[in-house]
Amino acid sequence: MQLEPVIGLEVHLQLATRSKIFSGSATRFGAEPNTQASAVDLAMPGMLPVLNGYAVACAVKFGLGIGAQISRRSVFDRKNYFYPDLPKGYQISQFDAPIVGRGNFEISMQDGSTRSIGITRAHLEEDAGKSLHEDFHGQTGIDLNRAGTPLLEIVSEPDIRNAAEAVAYLRALHSLVTYLGISDGNMAEGSMRCDINISLRPMGNATLGTRTEIKNVNSFRFVEKAIHHEVERQADIIEGGGNVVQETRLYDADRDETRSMRSKEVANDYRYFPEPDLLPVVIDEAYIEAIRGELPELPTEKRHRFREQYGLSNYDANVLSDTRALGDYFETVVATCQSPKISANWVQVELLRQLNRDDTAIEHCPVSAGQLGGLILRILDNTISGKIAKQVFEAMWKGQGSADEIIEQRGLKQVSDGDQLETMVDAVIAANATQVAQFIVANEDKRKKLIGFFVGQVMKLSKGQANPQIVNTLLAQKLK
Amino acid sequence: MYDKSVAELSQGLREGQFSSLEVTRSFLDRIAALDGNLNSFISVDEGAALRAAEDADRRLAAGDATALTGIPVAHKDIFCTEGLRTSCGSRMLDNFIPPYDATVIHRFKRAGAVMLGKTNMDEFAMGSSNETSYYGPARNPWDTQRVPGGSSGGSAAAVAGRLTPAATGTDTGGSIRQPAALCGITGLKPTYGRVSRLGMIAFASSLDQGGPMARSALDCALLLNTMAGHDPQDSTSSTVPAEDYSEGLDRPLDGLRIGLPSQYFNEGLDTATGERVRAALTELQSQGATLVEVSLPNSALSIPAYYIIAPAEASTNLSRFDGVRYGYRCQDPVDLQDLYSRTRAEGFGEEVKRRILVGTYALSAGYYDAYYKKAQQVRRLIKQDFMDCFEAVDVIAGPTTIGPAFALGAKIDNPIAMYLEDVYTLAVNLAGLPALSLPAGFVGGLPVGLQLIGRHFDESRLLHVAHRFQQATDWHLRAPDTIGSEAAR
Instruction: Name the 3-class secondary structure at A104.
Output: strand
| Residue A263, pLDDT score | 55
Q: Say whether both A342 and A252 belong to one domain.
A: no
Q: What is the pLDDT of residue A214?
A: 94
C-alpha span between B137 and B407 (Å, rounded): 12
Q: Which helix (H) or strand (E) holds A473?
A: helix A468-478
Q: What is the ipTM of this complex?
A: 0.96
CB B194, CB B236: distance < 8 Å:
no
What is the pLDDT at residue A49? 98
Same domain, A72 and A108: yes
How many CB atoms sit inside 10 A of residue A317's CB?
23
Cα-based distances in Å from B402 to A405, B246, B275, B399, B421? 97, 30, 12, 7, 7
* Cβ contact B316–A279 (<8 Å): no
Q: How far apart are CA B194 and CA B211, in angstroms?
A: 9
Residue B489 has pLDDT above 50, yes or no: no
With an 8 Å Cβ cutoff, is A34 touching chain B? no
What's the average model confidence in pLDDT over A349-370?
93
Domain final residue pick, A271, A290, A309: A290
Domain containing A311 equals 297-410
- In chain A, the residue whose alpha carbon lies closest to the alpha carbon of B333 is A139
The answer on A210 and A86 residing in a single domain is yes
Q: What is the pLDDT of residues A400-453, one digit of tens each?
A: 989 999 988 888 888 878 888 888 888 899 888 888 888 888 888 888 888 889
Condensed to tens digits (0 to 9), the pLDDT of residues A186-210 reads 888 889 999 999 999 999 899 999 9
**Rounded to an integer, what distance in angstroms lies between the CA atom of residue A301 and that of residue A292?**
15
pLDDT tens column, A96-114: 999 999 999 888 887 878 8
Residue ranges of the alpha helices (H) in A36-105?
53-65
Comparing alpha-carbon positions, the chain B residue that sits nearest to A88 is B320
Cβ-contact B102, B79 below 8 angstroms: yes
B94 in A contact zone (CB under 8 Å): no
Q: Return the DSSP state at A415.
A: B
> Mean pLDDT across the stretch B397-413?
96
> Residues A176, A322: one domain?
no
Give one word for B57, left, alpha or beta, with left for phi > 0 and alpha for psi -120 to 50.
alpha
**Do A194 and A252 share a domain, yes or no?**
yes
The verdict on a CB contact (< 8 Å) between A276 and B364 is no
Residue B295 touches partner A, C-beta closer than 8 Å = no
Task: Using pLDDT thresholds of 50, 70 and 90, give the confidence band for residue A140.
Answer: confident
> What CATH class is the domain B6-252+436-487?
alpha beta
| Chain A contact for B361 (CB, 8 A cutoff) | no
Query: pLDDT over 70 for what percent of chain B?
Result: 98
**CB neighbour list of residue B265: distance below 8 Å, 6 or more residues apart:** B274, B277, B398, B399
**Same domain (yes/no): A395, A430:** no
What distance in Å separates the CA atoms of residue B340 and residue A231, rounded to the nearest whole number? 39
Q: Which of A290, A315, A332 is the last residue of a domain?
A: A290
Region at A411 (left for phi over 0; alpha for psi -120 to 50; beta for the rest): left
DSSP B322: S
pLDDT at residue B246 greater than cutoff 80: yes
- The CATH number given to whatever domain includes residue A429 is 1.10.10.410
A361–chain B Cβ distance below 8 A for any pair: no
Q: List the catalytic residues of B.
A: 76, 151, 175
Domain boundary among A290, A307, A327: A290
pLDDT digits (tens, 9 = 90+) for B14-52: 999 999 999 999 999 999 999 999 999 999 999 999 999
pLDDT value of position B486? 43
Asked if the C-beta of A267 comes within 8 angstroms of chain B's C-beta atoms, the answer is: no
At residue B43, the pLDDT reads: 98
Pair A334, A223 in one domain? no
Q: Are residues A180 and A125 in the same domain?
A: yes
Q: Which of B124, B143, B153 has its CA nearest to residue B39?
A: B153
Average pLDDT, chain B: 96
**What contacts B222, CB < 8 A, 6 or more positions away?**
B6, B7, B10, B67, B68, B214, B245, B246
Residues of B with Cβ-Cβ distance to A51 under 8 angstroms: 235
Contact B129, B121 (CB under 8 A): no
List, as one string, the DSSP characters of A276-322: TTS--EE--HHHHHHHHHH----HHHHHHHHHHHH---HHHHHHHTS
* Span B407-443, pLDDT tens digits: 999 999 998 888 888 999 999 999 999 999 999 999 9
Residue-wise pLDDT for A83-100, tens only, equals: 999 999 999 999 999 999
Asked if pLDDT for residue B149 goes beyond 70, the answer is: yes
Across the interface, whether the CB atoms of A269 and B364 are under 8 A apart is answered yes
- Nearest residue in chain B measured CA to CA from A23: B233
What are B468-479's pLDDT values in tens digits?
A: 999 999 999 999
Chain segment B97-143, per-residue pLDDT in tens: 999 999 999 999 999 999 999 999 999 999 999 999 999 999 999 99
- Give A169→chain B minimum CA distance, Å: 34
* pLDDT, tens digit, 9 for 90 and up, residues B278-328: 999 999 999 999 999 999 999 999 999 999 999 999 999 999 999 999 999
Measured CA to CA, the distance from residue B163 to residue B32 in angstroms comes to: 9
Percent of chain A with pLDDT over 70: 99
CB of B483 closer than 8 Å to CB of B183: no
pLDDT at A264: 45
How far is C-alpha B189 from the geometric centre of its chain's CA atoms?
A: 7
Looking at the structure, do residues A360 and A430 belong to the same domain, yes or no?
A: no
Contact B125, B113 (CB under 8 A): no
pLDDT at A322: 87
**Residue pLDDT, tens place only, A260-280:** 875 544 567 999 999 999 999
A472 with A356, same domain?
no
How much is the pLDDT for B482? 65
* Proportion of chain B above pLDDT 90, given as a percent: 95
Do A367 and A448 lie in one domain? The reply is no
Of B99, B102, B320, the CB nearest to A43: B320
**How far apart (Å, rounded) are the C-alpha atoms in residues B37 and B483?**
9
Q: Are A62 and A32 in contact (CB under 8 A)?
A: no
